[in-house]
């Protein structure tokens, strides 16, 4: 089947409006690095950077190669500190509580692999059924590594749509149940914005509930900074990590890792263990001579963890400045993203004759991602579900359909969105961004409609044959 018409990009730069800042929408595609035919409807998975940040990134890499030793020994710390200060201002956190790691999964691993589990075996790690898979596997690994009797975990089942109050109720009930078994809820991991489905999680209320119940809060904000408001000073989580390379416009991979001073002693080692570790028993107990005596052990520990490319974290300060000086600041950006997210997702749902995943208070889409149902079902469709003419595939073909639709969308239509099943219904997640407008959502709706039609004809069944 022929693909949709290719839409050409215009040359030049996005124009500046009367307010002195760049005009958001399709105009902004000029300032990014997309191929002319590509429509980027999935910013939430891997992010991307403007041309201006790419230039900064390459400049740092050039400077490193020009004089490797002086740069790494002396410039590295200064540039890292400048970016720490810049990102701390965005999330309203003390600079001494903020460092960088490669990505959110590394931050989550750093916490879980440092936490000491009591020898009595009563510690329980809590997580929700929507936990990001790699983070859930950290808990699985720890159980496998320590063996039976050192720690256990407990899943809190939730299914969307669900109200925030119900999420909090289930958490409290689980803690009470754990305590009733003579065990202790040690730590709970939860999202700022979940991945699949991409919905806002009541993370601030969860932090408060954890504090009240004596449970350590580990906030996976992989989808966070740059797409929702973050006030870590007010929320005061025990641990928080958020990818800067998703929504803040920094190169991959870079994540801000926040640990309040009160908890920094709980993390004696970086991941991997490196120069900053102070051994309690071995001869390598002292810190390296190059560490800054004016900085805390925590900051020194995470500043340099071995030779790798740190240039993405150097770019954080430049991304923050770009967002402020060129795009008009965080509030202007968030206002556009949230508005486009809500309007664009409704438009797609209307075109497909389906619905947007939302709760009664409309909080699930208070971000830059939304989930739209497709007229596609697995196994069967109830009499009161969907509409006449919806496509139904065999239950055993569910995963095959996901793979075929995503690969076909990229190959034939030059765009892609995450796709997944919630129960028996097929859903997609779309991301709003400053370089998109409603025209892009129209394109997404048309593309998805064509894909469902092709699934209904059984095209996915012949994929890979012959």
| pLDDT tens digits for range 121-171 | 999 999 999 999 999 999 999 999 988 788 999 999 999 999 999 999 999
What is residue 464's predicted lDDT score, i.e. its pLDDT? 61
Tell me the pLDDT band of 277, cut-offs 50, 70 and 90: confident
Is the confidence at residue 6, as pLDDT, over 60? no
Residue 192 or 8, more confident: 192
Q: What is the mean pLDDT of the chain?
A: 93
Tens of pLDDT, residue by residue over 175-184, are 999 999 999 9
Fold for domain 70-319? Answer: 3.40.640
pLDDT tens digits, residue range 365-411? 999 999 999 999 999 877 778 888 899 999 999 999 999 999 999 99
* pLDDT of 285: 61
> In this predicted model, what pLDDT tens digit does every residue of 432-452 receive, in sequence order?
999 999 999 999 999 999 999
For the chain, percent of residues with pLDDT exceeding 90: 84
The pLDDT of residue 297 is 86
Least confident residue range of 60-69, 273-282, 354-363, 456-465: 273-282
User: For the ranges 136-140, 234-238, 286-290, 335-339, which has the lowest average pLDDT?
Assistant: 286-290
Of 287 and 280, the one with more pLDDT: 280
User: Taking 50 as the threshold, does the pLDDT of residue 65 lie above it?
Assistant: yes
Cis geometry, peptide bond prior to residue 390 (ω within 30 degrees of 0): no
**pLDDT by residue (tens digit) across 416-433?**
999 999 999 999 999 999
CATH topology of domain 331-461: 3.90.1150
Res 229 pLDDT > 70: yes
Residue 5 has pLDDT above 50, yes or no: no
**1, pLDDT greater than 60:** no
Residue 120: which pLDDT band, with cuts at 50, 70 and 90? very high
Residue 349 has pLDDT above 60, yes or no: yes
Instruction: Evaluate if residue 273 carries a pLDDT over 90.
Output: no
Domain ranges of the chain: 70-319, 331-461
């Amino acid at each position: 089947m022929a693909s949709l018409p290719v839409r050409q990009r215009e040359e030049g730069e996005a124009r500046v409006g009367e307010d002195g800042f760049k005009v958001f929408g399709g105009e902004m595609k000029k300032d990014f690095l997309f191929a002319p035919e590509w429509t980027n409807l999935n910013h939430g998975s891997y992010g991307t950077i403007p041309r201006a940040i790419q230039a900064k990134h390459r400049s740092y890499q050039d400077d490193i190669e020009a004089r490797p030793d002086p740069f790494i020994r002396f410039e590295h710390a200064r540039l890292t500190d400048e970016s720490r200060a810049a990102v701390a201002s965005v999330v309203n956190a003390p600079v001494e509580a903020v460092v960088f790691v490669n990505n959110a999964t590394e931050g989550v691993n750093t916490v879980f692999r440092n936490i000491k589990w009591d020898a009595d075996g009563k510690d329980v790690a809590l997580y929700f059924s929507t936990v990001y898979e790699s983070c859930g596997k950290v808990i699985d690994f720890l159980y496998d590594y320590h063996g039976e009797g050192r720690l256990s975990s407990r899943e809190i089942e939730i299914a969307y749509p669900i109200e925030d109050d119900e999420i909090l109720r289930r958490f409290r009930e689980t803690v009470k149940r754990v305590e009733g078994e003579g065990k202790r809820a040690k730590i709970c991991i939860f999202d700022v914005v979940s991945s699949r489905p991409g919905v806002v999680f009541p993370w601030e209320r969860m932090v408060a509930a954890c504090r009240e119940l004596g449970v350590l809060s580990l906030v996976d904000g992989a989808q966070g900074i740059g797409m929702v408001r973050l006030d870590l000073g007010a929320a005061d989580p025990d641990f928080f990590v958020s990818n800067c390379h998703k929504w803040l416009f920094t190169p991959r991979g870079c994540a801000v890792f926040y640990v309040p001073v009160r908890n920094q002693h709980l993390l004696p080692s970086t991941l991997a263990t490196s120069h900053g570790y102070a051994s309690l028993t071995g001869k390598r107990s002292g810190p390296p001579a190059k560490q800054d005596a004016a900085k805390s052990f925590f900051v020194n520990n995470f500043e340099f963890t071995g030779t790798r490319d740190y240039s993405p974290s150097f770019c954080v300060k430049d991304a923050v400045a770009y967002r402020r000086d060129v795009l008009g600041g965080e509030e202007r950006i968030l206002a556009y993203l949230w508005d486009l997210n809500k309007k664009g997702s409704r438009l797609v749902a209307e075109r497909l004759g389906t619905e947007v995943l939302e709760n009664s208070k409309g909080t699930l889409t208070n971000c830059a991602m939304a989930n739209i149902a497709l007229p596609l079902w697995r196994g069967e469709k109830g009499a009161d579900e969907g509409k006449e003419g919806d496509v139904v595939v065999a239950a055993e073909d569910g995963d095959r359909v996901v793979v075929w639709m995503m690969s076909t969308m990229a190959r034939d239509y030059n765009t892609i969105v995450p796709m997944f099943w919630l129960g028996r219904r097929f859903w997609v997640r779309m991301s709003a961004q400053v370089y998109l407008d409603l025209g892009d959502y129209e394109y997404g709706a048309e593309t998805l409609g064509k894909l469902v039609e092709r699934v209904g004809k059984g095209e996915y069944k012949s994929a890979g044959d012959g």
